Amino acid sequence: MSQVESMRGAKILTPKRRGIDAGRDGSPLPSLIFDGRDGTHVPTLAKPGTETSPDIDVEEKLKEAFSRGWSVIVWNDPVNLMDYVVYVFKTVLKMNEKDASRHMWEVHQKGKSVVARETREKSELIIHRLRGFGLNATLEQA
């Protein structure tokens, strides 16, 4: 992909994080720790002191943000060319030709295809890039 697209993506990766920016009033900022026992990164909030209770809302938001429970769905449309869709999958999703073609056929024949399951931020970036190429892509939480 072009440099412009990458830079554009970086903006998506740094959305305003209202729930997380909790330390601006001088209160201690919670630090992130990752519990990878089940092979996945599960973010939790480390308590900076025993008297500080974790912010449940923040914790939930972080869990949601870091779980790979977000599906990127590409929908069929009457205009995009088959070759073009394959090219976009290869360019944006770094699929090999066979996978890109398989997903393209799935979109064409079944009306849609789940092309990625990612964290919320990564999924948003993918959606943005797919839409930048004119594909009808939506984001859904499983």
Partner 1 sequence: MTCEPIAPDQWRLSFTEPEAGFLVNVLARLGKHYQDDVARMPPALRAYWQGTISRGGVADQDDLKESQEVLAEARAELRAERLALVENWMREYELAEERDPWKVEISSAERDEFIAMLNDRRMFLALELGITEEDMEAAPNQIPQEARRVSILEIDVLGHFILVMLGPQIYRP
| Rounded to 5°, angle at Cα 133 from 129 and 135 | 95
Residue whose CB is less far from partner 1, 48 or 65: 65
Q: How many CB atoms lie within 10 A of CB 61?
A: 17
Cβ proximity to partner 1: between 48 and 59 the closer is: 59
CB of 132 to partner 1, least distance (A): 6
- Kindly state the smallest distance separating residue 35's Cβ from partner 1, in Å: 23
Q: How far is the CB of 86 from partner 1 (least distance, A)?
A: 4
User: Which residues are near partner 1 by CB under 8 A?
Assistant: 1-5, 8, 11-12, 15-16, 18, 77-84, 86-87, 90-91, 97-98, 100-102, 104-105, 120, 124, 127-128, 131-134, 136, 138-141
**Based on CB atoms, which residue is closest to partner 1, 1 or 32?**
1
Alpha-carbon gap, residue 99 to 36, rounded angstroms? 29
CA distance 123 to 127: 6
- Sequence letter at residue 8: R
Beta bridge partners of 126: none
Q: Tell me whether residue 60 is exposed, middle or buried, using C-beta atoms within 10 angstroms of its C-beta: 0 to 12, 13 to 18, 19 or more.
A: exposed
**CB of residue 2 to partner 1, shortest distance in Å:** 3
